[in-house]
Copies of this chain bind each other. A is one copy, B any other.
């Protein structure tokens, strides 16, 4: 442990000098300076107001990160702070590439080993997200262009139980069974989760490898699921991500400036375990798409299935209102029938209870043999948020003929941390 502590300290010194370099240079004039000015509290999510998945909310005048000068230099140099009340990567602008890596703890990894592991991970995450090679990184050049790299850490039920079973929230367990689930394909559960995101696959691959090097003695890989959105810089202005079914995906997502955002996403002292205050619950569902049969459905049929136009994602009740106009579920057509079908996906997914919402962070996956959506979502309590939504969808959703949930996992996302602190310290306290 003394050695690891030393490593963290050396790291810190290296990191600070390197960060000074980053923020002082040309890149720093863009995003680096913004983060530097925002300071500790806002650091990890200073860019939350810009939501690439929901572009119309975003005022480009207020956003210095993508200035032409930063673009000319290449966005690879952009670094996001990992420090703040909450971990980075949850409300930060969605990245192009997301790799979810779940680990199973080795039998001998006890509470003391978990504490060592979290200290090592903290140092790695601080270095890698700052564009700095962790100590003894054999390929430091691969660390230098993080491209907004974030690493978000979640813990599973088994890890919490090894620390103290009394600390485990009721929701940190496999989800209740849904009728249509077809799980058991090697993408369920896990004791530890790394969500590694960046706008470039190279830093994702390098970060995953450096983190694995330190994790290897404590845990082994359970599964890896990597997804993507449209490449950064490829999107037209105002465009929203589409999934592989061709649908606009990510509409009506709670935004950090919504009045109830905090109560939807962050565990607070009233709602949860004290060690998890400022953290969240992450649910990842692997949703396979049956694209071959989906292709046989005509365009009106596919729009009816979802309840939105394919052209721009507008609700069918208001097809010229654009993606962000609220759906009118009471609207009727000339025959007096509901315009948005009673089993349309958006109707079934929408709750009358505003506290039943979740923050979605879905990405596409395509192995070449199978395609679909890695549906990740954040909330305060999955049993009160994801589960009732998914129960309605499981019971009746026109889309079910073409989508199947084939993987399911729940993690407690650790609260944020500041420089000098360790991720998960409150869990171990």
Which A residues contact B (CB, under 8 angstroms)? 68, 71-77, 96, 99, 101, 138-142, 145, 147, 199-202, 205-206, 208-209, 213, 221, 224, 226, 228-237, 239, 242, 244-246, 291-292, 294-295, 297, 299, 302, 310-311, 364, 366-369, 371
Question: Chain B's nearest CB lies how many Å from the CB of A380?
Answer: 30
Determine the distance from Cα of A201 to Cα of B201 in the docked complex, in whole angstroms.
Answer: 11
A77 proximity list for chain B (CB < 8 A): 236
A368 touches B226 (CB 8 A): yes
B74 touches A235 (CB 8 A): yes
A368 proximity list for chain B (CB < 8 A): 99, 101, 208, 221, 224, 226
Contact residue among B231, B367, B371 (Cβ-Cβ distance under 8 Å from A96): B231
A237 proximity list for chain B (CB < 8 A): 72-74
Question: Chain B's nearest CB lies how many Å from the CB of A381?
Answer: 30
Determine the distance from Cα of A219 to Cα of B244 in the docked complex, in whole angstroms.
Answer: 23
A233 touches B74 (CB 8 A): yes
A291 proximity list for chain B (CB < 8 A): 209
B209 touches A138 (CB 8 A): no
Determine the distance from Cα of A297 to Cα of B138 in the docked complex, in whole angstroms.
Answer: 8
Known: A199-B234, A200-B231, A202-B230. A224 touches B141 (CB 8 A): no
Determine the distance from Cα of A76 to Cα of B368 in the docked complex, in whole angstroms.
Answer: 22
A248 to chain B: closest residue by CB = B141
Contact residue among B147, B208, B295, B367 (Cβ-Cβ distance under 8 Å from A231): B147
A209 proximity list for chain B (CB < 8 A): 244, 291, 371
| Residue in A96, A201, A367 with the greatest tally of chain B CB atoms within 10 Å | A201
A-B contact list, 10 entries, CB within 8 Å: A68-B68, A74-B234, A96-B231, A141-B242, A142-B244, A145-B236, A199-B231, A202-B364, A221-B368, A231-B232
B200 touches A234 (CB 8 A): yes
Determine the distance from Cα of A364 to Cα of B260 in the docked complex, in whole angstroms.
Answer: 43
Determine the distance from Cα of A206 to Cα of B364 in the docked complex, in whole angstroms.
Answer: 12
A299 touches B224 (CB 8 A): no
Determine the distance from Cα of A318 to Cα of B189 in the docked complex, in whole angstroms.
Answer: 52
Known: A99-B368, A138-B297, A208-B368. 9 other contacts (CB 8 A): A74-B235, A139-B245, A200-B231, A202-B228, A202-B230, A205-B366, A206-B244, A208-B366, A209-B371
